[in-house]
Amino acid sequence: MSLVVQKYGGSSVATAEKIKSVAARIKRTADAGSGVVVVVSAMGDTTDELIELAHAINPHPEAREMDVLLSTGETQASALMVMALHALGAEAISLSGGQAGMRTDRVHRSARILDIDPARLKAELERGRIIVVAGFQGLTEDLDVATIGRGGSDTTAVAFAAALGARCEIYTDVEGVYTADPRVVPDARKLKDISYEEMLELASKGAKVMAPRAVELGSVYNIGILVAHSTKDAPGTLIHGGVDMEGFNRVRGIAHDMDVAKITLRHVPDRPGIAAEIFEPLADANLSVDTIVQNVSENNTTDLTFTIAKNDVKRALPVVNEIAKTIGAKEVVADEKMGKVSIVGTGIQSAPGYAARMFRTLSEAGINIEIISTSEIRITCIVPENSVLDAVRALHAAFELEKVEL
Ligand code: ADP
Ligand code: ASP
Ligand code: MG
């Protein structure tokens, strides 16, 4: 029997009506003879609302309790989806991530998947049931519920597809992966397919249509991931490994991210080991650092700048101030009003001209570049938050992405 894992995101299950129409689609797939495992996200903005509620009660909620709370969003959606399927006369059962066999480590709120035991899923499929799994969560060795990081339902879906040897379909509120966020660039084009590498760069630089870890998992297990609209019957985008490299010297897409803050340590003494002294305590505090730049030193001191998520600034500052004191840095400056824009495409780094065109475009739009970072297939500029959207539109036009063929 063919087997498919279908994931429906928060916006696709935001209301009773939407749950009902998604249920109808799921039933059609099952009626056509496919085994179906559905992974659901929490309805609409439930996760954000639960986080807000928790902070209204305790400004520093424990991560374990947050996971107990946040996992209920997905649990609720899974039960409601099964009720909708029952109302249509389908055989279906909801399972929590743990019941579905997902085991994670104990790092609450950003747990890693250790293992999936698909026995229960297989037994339910044998019974001819549609299974609706609550995404974003698993169980630790101590049987505590742990969530696997924002956007984790995407990762859940790919992980189950890998464990079951099933196809993987991610259904969302846009028709696929576009050359840029279609809400920002109205003439952005939907891509027919995209490589894991390019999608991973776009996702980790802010294109939230796919969670980066889901793309990574897909690449490790070589699972093609179809991204498509949850109710429209339009062809989506296939993320896979076998992308035709013909004409590879091109920009494939533009990602942007408003969630960027910049922290600078001024006048850091320039001696061996200093970078480790700075970044070890940040890692120990589970703070994830993105771009890092160290300037050329002058008089044996240097400035060191890195970026983190805006939400992490409050937690990072005391740690950084402490480090600054220990290593004898003069000053710590934080700027929370930053953002970033990235161009991504296989081969852009080895072909001259892309970086120059990017910088020229931003300069002509009057946008100041604060930091530049690159990978082999990406160039990222950190720019002021209020110029990010202009930057995306200007770059989309400069690289003529509106002309991409479908
Ligand atoms: P879901 O609730 O289904 O998980 P998300 O909100 O996480 O959906 O992701 C879908 C959103 O991602 C779209 O509504 C779109 O605004 C945004 N997005 C950002 N970049 C892109 C892109 N390159 N292609 C498509 N969508 C994108
Ligand atoms: N509900 C979780 C979140 O908002 C997981 C997900 O939707 O993928 O991050
Ligand atoms: Mg998402």
The DSSP result for 273-299, as a single string, is THHHHHHHHHHHTTPPP--EEEPPPBT
The two tokens of residue 164 are: 């079951």
Closest C-alpha to ligand 2, atom 6? 151
pLDDT for 347 equals: 79
What structural domains does the chain harbor? Answer: 3-173 (3.40.1160.10)
Question: Sorting pLDDT into bands at 50, 70 and 90, what band is 245?
Answer: low
Closest C-alpha to ligand 1, atom 12? 209
Question: Sorting pLDDT into bands at 50, 70 and 90, what band is 249?
Answer: low
Q: Distance from CA of residue 202 to its chain's centroid?
A: 9
Pocket test for ligand 2, best of 40, 153, 170, 173 (most atoms within 8 A of CB): 153
Residue type, 264: T
How far, in Å, is the centroid of ligand 1 from the Cα of 99?
29
The DSSP result for 344-406, as a single string, is E-TTTTTSTTHHHHHHHHHHHTTPPP-EEEEETTEEEEEEEGGGHHHHHHHHHHHTTGGG---
pLDDT at 53 over 90: yes
Question: Sorting pLDDT into bands at 50, 70 and 90, what band is 247?
Answer: low
The DSSP result for 49-111, as a single string, is HHHHHHHHH-SS--HHHHHHHHHHHHHHHHHHHHHHHHHTT--EEEE-TTTTTEEE-S-TTSP
Question: Sorting pLDDT into bands at 50, 70 and 90, what band is 250?
Answer: confident
Ligand 1 pocket, residue 264 CB under 6 Å: no
Mean pLDDT value across residues 84-106: 98
Q: How far apart are CA 395 and CA 402, in angstroms?
A: 11
Q: How far apart are CA 239 and CA 191, in angstroms?
A: 10
Mean pLDDT value across residues 375-391: 96
Tens digits of per-residue pLDDT, 258-309?
999 999 999 999 888 888 999 999 999 889 898 898 888 778 899 999 999 9
Residue in this structure with the two tokens 């294109």, named with its chain if needed: 207
Mean pLDDT value across residues 171-189: 97
